[in-house]
Amino acid sequence: MDERQWETRKETVFRLICDEKYEPMKQKELAILLDIPRERRQELTEVLDALLAEGKIQVSRRGRYHKAERQNRTGVFTSHARGFGFVSVESMDTDIFVAEEDVHGAFHGDYVEVSLKEPGGSREEGRRPEGVITQVLGHSITQVVGTFQKNKTFGFVLPDNQRITSDIFVPEERSRGAVTGAKVVVELTDYGDGRKKPEGRIVEILGHVNDPGTDMLALARAYEMPMEFPERVMNQAARVPGTVSAADREGRRDLRDWMMVTIDGEDAKDLDDAVSVSREGDGYLLGVHIADVSNYVQEDSALDREAYLRGTSVYLVDRVIPMLPHRLSNGICSLNAGEDRLALSCLMKIDGKGRIVDHEILETVICVDQRMTYTSVRKILEDEDPGECKRYEALVPMFRLMEEAAALLRKNRRKRGGIDFDFPETKIFLDEEGVPVEVRPYERNTATKIIEDFMLAANETVAEDFYWQELPFLYRTHEAPDKDQMQKLSLFIRNFGYSMHLGREEVHPGELQKLLDSLEGTPEETMISRLTLRSMKQAKYTVDCSGHFGLAADYYCHFTSPIRRYPDLQIHRIIKDTLRGRMKPEKRAHYEKRLPEAALHSSQTERRADEAEREAQKLKKTQYMEARIGETYEGVISGVTGYGFYVELPSTIEGLVHVQSLKDDFYEYQDDRFELVGERSGRTFKLGQRVKIRVADTNQMTRTIDFSLCEAEME
């Protein structure tokens, strides 16, 4: 039977079942009605099975076939480079899978109507729901960033976003004279329909792909990040005073005679937190002093609206896209040493066992004694470097107290089950042309941990204070991981001889910390730690205080970075309104209305920034390895799939060894053991295994690196 006959028979049966006079029948009854002889009834079975698979018909428990009762949903379509995609529906926990043939011309990011193929709960348990896109309701993407390719009478743009699966046709008269290799912004004028390509016009030429900085500029534009501040915002920033006035100091606690420092990276310019520690009895008085940005950025001003739009500062490899103009972020709002600054201070009394037994949140005026770096403080505390100790002689006793207090806070957090992921961050060094010349891990040290511990303590203290005041507030929450994700993790670590206890309902964070502790110093430490992190849910901003799973904290918020995070700025306003007695019913109503939207928007801009920062690093790592094709390195297998395995190098760079490159053998993926096994050679590649690789190829468009196994490894 050819395809035409097959489709005709399906259509005949489907039309019969859709007929208004049709009464649901069993297969045997349908065969009699259609006059199908007994010897050909297998063909009817196949037709009915196909219509069921397509979601066009349903079968009752008694075996009667009837037209499917379509269940339509609306959501956002996310395309995949291979042609299929997913629709995320707000009311559903799981995205709906859409096969390539069921996309029906939907464009990445479109708001669509999708019809479930298996309505009424007929889907097998554990299987992702599948659907068909029936209608495009709206487009969210209006502009696309990509590389222009010129032909004689037209051009086309290859999108940087790999989820946009089609080139975009550009007529010559709409190309603005762009040349091959230009990075451009193309405005979509036609989204295509699956048979016809999308069409657009060039609205901006960002530069040539080989020009310094064009890659990061294109990435920022692809994520729709505003690069320049509007004129009205810059004008408002210009009117902000450069110094603290006497009027600003009125009503504030004067802490300018307190010894305090900022501790940041060498290249940091927006210094929004200072710390002080002094001995108090057998405990400590810890002060976390945060720049009072809200004094200069008034709610609903041009500065505030722009900060809200951006949501967060974004740290790409070669630039920072700030939330606030530099006049504020590097000037009056930055806690620069030797200059009076306005702050919100959280003063915490810590007893000899590391418990916060009392606290005070207040408006202050401060003057930082010294701008310290993580490197200098590490040299003092870890290396006891004579030169650094002499240079900062007056501050060294306070640094010792900081080390003691932070260690106690950290011990208590770990005792209650807080998880401490100790991953090395990636540090990428560029030359003047923006070319990566070195990639290396940036390890945490004593100094970075001290600041982390102090900021966590302040964030928890502030959140708990305002929770018990029962005021509108913006919390940072982290839900417990799904049980099935934890079961998968438990199965995975069993292959390496590890185990963890899973409760009936959910895992306790302390169990995950025990796992991480047992991994310390092992070859598989980084790989299993990363997988553990991926098994957990993402933290987000909410108006409900549901706790933070990863920190094992009942109360948590973001209070400590108002220069670069909008939620912190919003929280500062709530704190000041409360301290000044302005939290009247109308003010509460204002925050109750505003905060849910602010929480959602801040979570979205945070996700966007995280993704852009990851993509920027992947691109620069790809460029770095492009200049090193043919070189050999040793690394650890960090992931295994059916198409190959990933290898991570000590520099944190990761690449893929394709199965096809493993010569003279057929490799089978053992998904229960997470390894590739050669059928003839018996050679096994598994997670955590050390291998020697050669850089085979790179692709800047997809930001991927291909490795090949060195011959010695294949013998």
* Domains of the chain by residue range: 3-67, 72-138, 143-211, 231-476+553-616, 480-536, 628-714
CA nearest neighbour of 273 among 400, 140, 58, 453:
453
pLDDT at 533: 83
CA nearest neighbour of 254 among 369, 140, 381, 364:
364
Task: Give every CB contact of residue 458 below 8 A, 6+ residues apart in sequence.
Answer: 288, 290, 346, 348, 559, 560
Q: Which residue has the tokens 């839900």?
A: 479
Compute the half-sphere exposure of residue 487: CA atoms within 13 Å on the CB side of its CA: 7
pLDDT at 203: 94
Q: Which residue has the tokens 């702050």?
A: 343
Task: Give every CB contact of residue 116 below 8 A, 6+ residues apart in sequence.
Answer: 55, 70, 71, 72, 73, 96, 129, 130, 131
Mean pLDDT by 10 residues, the chain (715 residues): 77 86 88 85 86 77 79 86 87 84 88 76 61 88 92 91 88 93 93 84 93 92 91 96 92 96 91 96 96 96 97 93 95 96 98 95 97 95 94 96 96 88 84 93 90 97 97 94 82 81 76 84 76 86 94 95 97 97 96 96 95 94 96 90 90 92 78 76 84 95 92 54
pLDDT at 504: 65
Q: Which residue has the tokens 């037994």?
A: 357
**204 and 185 in contact (C-beta within 8 Å)?**
yes
For the residues of 88-124, what is the DSSP string, one character each?
Answer: E-TT-SSPEEE-GGGSTTPPTT-EEEEEESSTTTTSP
Q: Please give the torsion angle defined by the CA atoms of residues 428, 434, 435 and 441, in that order, rounded to the nearest 10 degrees.
A: 0
pLDDT at 714: 45
- How far apart (Å, rounded) are the C-alpha atoms in residues 491 and 499? 8
pLDDT at 575: 98
Cα–Cα distances (Å) from 485 to 68, 224, 709, in that order, read 33, 33, 32
**578 and 471 in contact (C-beta within 8 Å)?**
yes
Residue 358, strand partner residues: 349
How large is the greatest C-alpha to C-alpha distance in the chain, in angstroms?
101
Task: Give every CB contact of residue 268 below 8 A, 6+ residues apart in sequence.
Answer: none
pLDDT at 664: 67
Q: How many residues does the chain have?
A: 715
Cα–Cα distances (Å) from 245 to 112, 148, 273, 346, 633, in that order, read 55, 53, 21, 23, 58
Q: Which CATH architecture has domain 628-714?
A: Beta Barrel (2.40)
Instruction: Extract the tokens encoding 119.
Output: 């309505």
For the residues of 492-504, what is the DSSP string, one character each?
Answer: HHHTTT------S
- How far apart (Å, rounded) are the C-alpha atoms in residues 114 and 76? 10
- How far apart (Å, rounded) are the C-alpha atoms in residues 60 and 682? 49
**344 and 576 in contact (C-beta within 8 Å)?**
yes
pLDDT at 485: 82
Element (H, E) at 594: helix 585-626
Q: CATH 1.10.10.60: does it fit domain 72-138?
A: no
Compute the half-sphere exposure of residue 292: CA atoms within 13 Å on the CB side of its CA: 23
Q: Do domains 3-67 and 72-138 have the same CATH topology?
A: no
Task: Give every CB contact of residue 690 below 8 A, 6+ residues apart in sequence.
Answer: 523, 634, 635, 636, 637
**500 and 493 in contact (C-beta within 8 Å)?**
yes
CATH of 143-211, one of 3.30.1330.10, 2.40.50.700, 3.20.20.70, 2.60.40.420: 2.40.50.700
531-580 confidence digits (pLDDT tens): 888 888 899 999 999 999 999 999 999 999 999 999 999 999 999 999 99
CA angle 476, 478, 479 (to 5 degrees): 140
CA nearest neighbour of 151 among 179, 125, 121, 126:
179
For the residues of 366-413, what is the DSSP string, one character each?
Answer: EE-SEEEEHHHHHIIIII--HHHHHHTTTTHHHHHHHHHHHHHHHHHH
Contacts 24+ apart (CB under 8 A), 696-701: 696/629, 696/661, 697/629, 698/622, 698/623, 698/625, 698/626, 698/629, 699/622, 700/215, 700/619, 700/622, 700/623, 700/626, 701/147, 701/158, 701/160, 701/162
- How far apart (Å, rounded) are the C-alpha atoms in residues 11 and 518? 61
For the residues of 182-238, what is the DSSP string, one character each?
Answer: EEEEEEEEE---SSS--EEEEEEEEEETTSTTHHHHHHHHHTT---S--HHHHHHHH
What's the gap between Cα 498 and its chain centre? 28
Domain 3-67 carries which CATH code? 1.10.10.10
**675 and 644 in contact (C-beta within 8 Å)?**
no
pTM: 0.83
**647 and 687 in contact (C-beta within 8 Å)?**
no
